[in-house]
Chains A and B, each alone.
Chain A
């Protein structure tokens, strides 16, 4: 455990020295507080970021729209089919599922 503690101390010292050197380098190069343009904010950076955000939002909105409309249409169709009655040879049948029987009966009636 003591070894690790001394190792941590040594590592911190080394890292601190590295950071201190970089700090001195910056200070000796002259402090430039406000550059006109920031290096990271290039036009392509901003455009790229906005485009990615836009695409991401677009995909999310489309996905929500399609899933919602799918469920609505699906439930409407189910209700419609469930309430549909067919008459074959004088007997009335009521569809109790999503439409397979109804379509089959309709075909038989033709």
Chain B
């Protein structure tokens, strides 16, 4: 496997996943780098038992979940009110007025609404929701990525969709 080819093919995809989880462009870039550092470091130990993309996504999900967990603890200790729980999406647009102009107000409101709904999901539900609805990945492969069974993935997708429906219906 060619590291350059893998980087070229998956860097953007992992960045998209990181942005979905973190909602912050620069943080997502940093985490994407960390993930790719791990991927390239462990590339020689990758056995062709699974597909490359599921393996990379698995590393990404684990790294992002650990990062968010650590961030939550640090915020709890330091009493920081960082943007982790901010219900504004996209936060980068909040900070960057030029980018804000690009999105129409209506679209922004819709994205904020979805973001608030996504905030009600657990990290695993969020992941399953993303892979199923955004990336259209098969449940069998999502199970490999998340290190769980197909029935657990089905349940995660069902639960997350139900939660989002309930949230939007309650608005």
Contact = CB atoms under 8 A, between A and B. Distances in A.
Contacts of A7: 168
Given A11-B113, A34-B33, A24 B133 contact: no
Given A18-B90, A20-B16, A38 B114 contact: no
B165 A8 contact: yes
Q: Main SS of the interface on chain B?
A: helix
A31 B113 CA distance: 31
B168 A34 contact: no
A5 B165 contact: yes
Given A23-B15, A34-B33, A40-B30, A14 B20 contact: no
Interface residues of B, number: 38
B107 A14 contact: yes
Q: Main SS of the interface on chain A?
A: helix
Chain A interface size, as a band, is 20 to 34
Interface of A: 1, 4-5, 7-8, 10-12, 14-16, 18-20, 22-24, 26-27, 31, 33-35, 38-40, 49, 52-53, 56
